[in-house]
A and B are shown apart, each in its own frame.
Chain A
């Protein structure tokens, strides 16, 4: 099943099974069903608890906060992740504060769903992966959609816990088929789940067993899909073997699966589509270099997009955003 369809079914299921769930966002009413059609059918099936909103991101975020304080489980669709900047005050100064600043008297479990990412020619303000600006906000969990994780699991995790979540969905995943590990494989790749108790598990992918891999790659979202294709290609064609670790939760980082893999490979490359500098990979690199100090064969490499605006022209965008060719080049350098 393609990702957007699975996401849509997951929303139907969450609303159907849990009367606390409320969905709101811009242009989500039927028949349109949201800019990426992920919310299709929801206003028809649950008219009381699903509402299309005016173009008012601050209010969407603030009303979600109030719903959560009032005992509901709002899931807010932010039409383009870029627009999360307009929700930032609510996220930083309200939603993630309430539980702690009121000494645990209340919880404020809001989930934001945010379509991110480029490679589609949408230009500077509709293509970004701005999640790095939300990493490290105390009491916020950031979870990334991936082709190897069922989307409902992210909702179940949100509904089972009491903290706010930012769910980042790369737009290019919407038309892709979900290939969660089955029987220890994803296509040609060996696949396993790994992670700490209580955290959404990471998926580990490799062509050969970990002990034969010379490099760990950690990537999330659409970049994980690109990285997996490169891992398979380089293994098949050049016998360059890597293990790819794909987390679902990207903040706080569950280091256990990365640690385990790097312990075997002694090399790490991080890959993300967000811009370079103060990035997710920088944070992962700092921790791994500290915990594996003296045992790494090479410094950790961080691959991120160029720190500039995302051009509208496709030929320029392809150079600026991390693509498969950039990942391949970095892997070859790391293993040279």
Chain B
């Protein structure tokens, strides 16, 4: 099978500077999901979907440091991770539209996506031991690849996570756990779900932890670049905690979070933070690129059988 070639208007070109590439990819994910929510409102999509608006910097920074042989396992909120890993807008739109050209031929839908080096599943926690198994397979095959798994703060309620933390450390597996703590587990705030200290939950198993509270893609980039390099070199597990915020609802319908809280967070979302690093003209050109490319993809996807 030929490797998928992402549209440079969405994914950038090798010659682009890092600021421009990161802005473009975050803008791509943001607009992909905003347009997806519009398609839901239009009534042409069935089921539900979990968007990651506000968390784009995590996906873009983490995926920028993965090699083709690495494996990323994502969760219900997987669009950003998938798009940052592959750049495949058409495959994902078509999938969510239930088209045969979808990346899983319409069977997986929004939460169950698969591509070379990427998978997602909609059950909380269960993907963590699976990612550890992939890490063990990488270790048995004596490769330099790493297995990264994305979890959220809500997933810290699942027992399978802790069974896996113990084994990953005990067996020295090249497992990289990226925890996106967006403060809300669907409609329940962290404080109502979570006892004790997040970092210490991992450190209790002897796992090294990095932690950053930021929506700045460059600050996150610095942390995750060092973390993935460490996993790759030492072949041991690592945890990266990214404290972030979800600006959209958990899924399609309102999750009843305080409006003022959400509104305040729009002032520090990843695009607002990163955009000033580009001059106005460059930014507008990227925005126009993303807009035209996504509109073409949607038009194409709509016409598919």
Q: Does A62 contact B104, Cβ atoms closer than 8 Å?
A: no
Smallest CB separation, A302 vs chain B (Å) = 34
Q: A89-B123, A101-B112, A106-B114 are in contact. Are A62 and B129 (CB under 8 A)?
A: yes
Q: A54-B166, A59-B163 are in contact. Are A72 and B130 (CB under 8 A)?
A: no
CA of A62 to CA of B124, assembled, Å: 12
CA of A25 to CA of B55, assembled, Å: 38
Residues on A with C-beta less than 8 A from B166 are 54, 56, 59
CA of A114 to CA of B105, assembled, Å: 35
* Highest count of chain A CB atoms <10 Å: which of B119, B133, B135, B163: B133
The reply on B195 being an interface residue by CB < 8 A is: no
Residues on B with C-beta less than 8 A from A97 are 112, 121
In chain B, residues 89-136, which have Cβ atoms closer than 8 Å to a Cβ of chain A? 104-105, 107-108, 112, 114-115, 119, 121, 123, 126-136
The reply on B137 being an interface residue by CB < 8 A is: yes
Q: A103-B104, A103-B108 are in contact. Are A62 and B136 (CB under 8 A)?
A: no
Q: Does B108 contact A90, Cβ atoms closer than 8 Å?
A: no
**A49 nearest in chain B by CB position:** B140
The reply on B194 being an interface residue by CB < 8 A is: no
**B166 nearest in chain A by CB position:** A54
Query: Contact partner of B140 among A48, A65, A105, CB < 8 A?
Result: A48
Q: Mark A44-72, 1 if CB is under 8 A from B, else 0.
A: 00001101011010110111111111111
Residues on A with C-beta less than 8 A from B71 are 70
Residues on A with C-beta less than 8 A from B225 are none
Q: Does B114 contact A65, Cβ atoms closer than 8 Å?
A: no
Q: Does A69 contact B119, Cβ atoms closer than 8 Å?
A: yes
**A64 nearest in chain B by CB position:** B133
CA of A206 to CA of B32, assembled, Å: 67
The reply on B138 being an interface residue by CB < 8 A is: yes
Q: Does B107 contact A66, Cβ atoms closer than 8 Å?
A: no
* Highest count of chain B CB atoms <10 Å: which of A72, A93, A97, A103: A103
CA of A264 to CA of B188, assembled, Å: 64
CA of A322 to CA of B126, assembled, Å: 36
Query: Contact partner of A63 among B105, B112, B115, B129, CB < 8 A?
Result: B129
CA of A103 to CA of B114, assembled, Å: 9
The reply on A94 being an interface residue by CB < 8 A is: yes
**B134 nearest in chain A by CB position:** A66
CA of A49 to CA of B104, assembled, Å: 32
Q: A101-B108, A102-B108, A103-B108 are in contact. Are A69 and B130 (CB under 8 A)?
A: yes
Residues on B with C-beta less than 8 A from A98 are 114, 119
Q: Does A66 contact B137, Cβ atoms closer than 8 Å?
A: yes
Residues on B with C-beta less than 8 A from A62 are 126-130, 132-133, 160, 164
> What band does the interface of chain B fall in when counting residues whose beta carbon is under 8 Å from A?
35 or more
Smallest CB separation, B110 vs chain A (Å) = 12
Q: Does B114 contact A89, Cβ atoms closer than 8 Å?
A: no
Q: Classify the secondary structure of B's interface with A.
A: helix
Total number of A residues with any Cβ neighbor in B under 8 Å: 34
**A106 nearest in chain B by CB position:** B114
Q: A72-B137, A103-B108, A105-B104 are in contact. Are A54 and B167 (CB under 8 A)?
A: yes
The reply on A214 being an interface residue by CB < 8 A is: no
Residues on A with C-beta less than 8 A from B126 are 58, 62, 89-90, 93-94
**A62 nearest in chain B by CB position:** B129
CA of A69 to CA of B133, assembled, Å: 8
Query: Contact partner of B107 among A72, A89, A101, A106, CB < 8 A?
Result: A101
Q: Does A93 contact B121, Cβ atoms closer than 8 Å?
A: yes
Query: Contact partner of B163 among A58, A64, A72, CB < 8 A?
Result: A58
The reply on B159 being an interface residue by CB < 8 A is: yes
* Highest count of chain A CB atoms <10 Å: which of B108, B129, B164: B129
**B95 nearest in chain A by CB position:** A103
Smallest CB separation, B30 vs chain A (Å) = 26
Q: A22-B140, A105-B114 are in contact. Are A65 and B171 (CB under 8 A)?
A: no
CA of A97 to CA of B114, assembled, Å: 12
Q: A63-B130, A65-B129 are in contact. Are A102 and B137 (CB under 8 A)?
A: no
Residues on B with C-beta less than 8 A from A66 are 129-137, 147
Q: Does A102 contact B167, Cβ atoms closer than 8 Å?
A: no
Q: Does A58 contact B137, Cβ atoms closer than 8 Å?
A: no
CA of A200 to CA of B41, assembled, Å: 52
**A67 nearest in chain B by CB position:** B133
Q: Mark A62-94, 1 if CB is under 8 A from B, else 0.
A: 111111111110100000000000000110011
Residues on A with C-beta less than 8 A from B131 are 66
Q: A54-B166, A101-B107 are in contact. Are A63 and B132 (CB under 8 A)?
A: yes
The reply on B198 being an interface residue by CB < 8 A is: no
CA of A228 to CA of B130, assembled, Å: 42
CA of A70 to CA of B147, assembled, Å: 11
Residues on B with C-beta less than 8 A from A67 are 133-134, 136-137
The reply on B278 being an interface residue by CB < 8 A is: no
Residues on B with C-beta less than 8 A from A316 are none
**B158 nearest in chain A by CB position:** A58
**A63 nearest in chain B by CB position:** B133
CA of A58 to CA of B164, assembled, Å: 9
CA of A61 to CA of B126, assembled, Å: 9
Would you give 23 A-B contacts (Cβ < 8 Å), ordered by A? A22-B136, A54-B167, A54-B170, A56-B167, A58-B159, A59-B163, A59-B164, A61-B129, A62-B126, A62-B160, A63-B136, A63-B164, A66-B131, A66-B147, A67-B137, A68-B133, A70-B134, A70-B137, A72-B137, A94-B126, A102-B108, A102-B119, A106-B119
Beyond the given pairs A97-B121, A103-B108, 17 more chain A to chain B contacts, judged by CB atoms under 8 angstroms and listed by A's residue number, are A53-B167, A59-B129, A62-B132, A65-B133, A66-B131, A66-B135, A66-B136, A67-B133, A67-B134, A71-B137, A98-B114, A102-B112, A102-B114, A103-B107, A103-B114, A105-B114, A106-B114
Write the residues of chain B forming the contact surface with A, with a CB cutoff of 8 angstroms.
Answer: 71, 104-105, 107-108, 112, 114-115, 119, 121, 123, 126-138, 140-141, 147, 159-160, 163-164, 166-167, 170-171
